[in-house]
Amino acid sequence: MRRPFLSLVKVLLGVTLLAGGAWFTYQAWLITPAAGEKITVQIADGLGAVQVAELLQIKGVISSAQGYRVYSWFSGEARHPRSGSYDLHPGLSYHQLARLLNRGPGRVESELRTIEGWSLDDEAAYLESQNNIKPADFYALAGSPPDQSSMEARWRTEFPFLKNLPADRTLEGYLFPETYRVWDDLLPEALIRKQLAEFQQRTAGVELSADNRPLVSLDQVITLASIVEKEVSTDKDRKLVAGIFLRRLRDGMALQSDATLNYVTHSGRIQANEQDLLRDSPYNTYRHKGLPPGPICNPSQNAIEAVLKPTPSNYYYFLADKQGKVLYAATLEEHKANRYRAGY
Distances (CA, A) of 35 to 89, 91, 92, 96, 261: 7, 9, 11, 15, 46
pLDDT score of 11: 47
Residue 226 has a pLDDT of 98
Within a domain: 333: no
**Domain range for 241:** 210-313
Q: Give the end of a domain, one of 151, 173, 202.
A: 202
Alpha helix (H) ranges present in 132-188? 135-142, 154-158
Evaluate whether residue 26 is within a structural domain.
Answer: no
Instruction: Report pTM.
Output: 0.74
Q: What is the DSSP code (8-state) at residue 192?
A: H
What's the average model confidence in pLDDT over 280-303?
A: 95
In a domain, residue 268? The reply is: yes
**String of b and e for 21-53 (b: at least 16 CB within 10 Å)?**
eeebeebbeebeeeeeeeeebebeeebebeebb
pLDDT of residue 142: 97
Please provide the average confidence, as pLDDT, over all residues in the chain.
Answer: 89
Helix axes 189-202, 135-142, angle to 10 degrees: 40
Which pLDDT does position 338 carry in this prediction? 92
Judging by beta carbons within 10 Å of its beta carbon (0-12, 13-18, 19+), is residue 341 exposed, middle or buried?
A: exposed
What's the pLDDT score for residue 24? Answer: 78
Longest dimension (CA), the chain: 94
pLDDT value of position 7: 56
Check whether 1 has a pLDDT greater than 50.
no
pLDDT for 219 beyond 60: yes
What pLDDT score was predicted for residue 29? 75
Give the pLDDT band of residue 19 (cuts 50, 70, 90): low
Span 81-125, pLDDT tens digits: 998 888 888 888 999 899 889 988 877 778 899 999 999 999 999
Query: What percentage of the chain has pLDDT greater than the value 90?
Result: 68
Give the CA distances from residue 322 to residues 326, 327, 334, in Å, rounded to whole numbers and listed in that order. Answer: 10, 11, 18
Q: Which residues face 144 on adjacent strands? A: 149
Strand spans (E) along the chain = 39-43, 84-88, 109-113, 179-183, 317-320, 326-329
pLDDT band at 20 (very low <50, low <70, confident <90, very high): low
Does residue 193 sit in the same domain as residue 270? no
Secondary structure (3-state) at 321: coil
Q: Which of 22-36, 261-275, 276-290 has the highest mean pLDDT?
A: 276-290
Per the domain annotation, does 132 fall within a domain? Answer: yes
Structural domain ending residue among the three candidates 152, 177, 202: 202
Convert the pLDDT of each residue in 232-256 to its tens digit: 999 999 999 999 999 999 999 999 9
The residues, any chain, with a CB within 8 Å of residue 257's CB and separated by 6 or more, are 227, 231, 245, 285
Last residue of a domain, one of 167, 202, 237: 202
d(CA 247, CA 266): 27
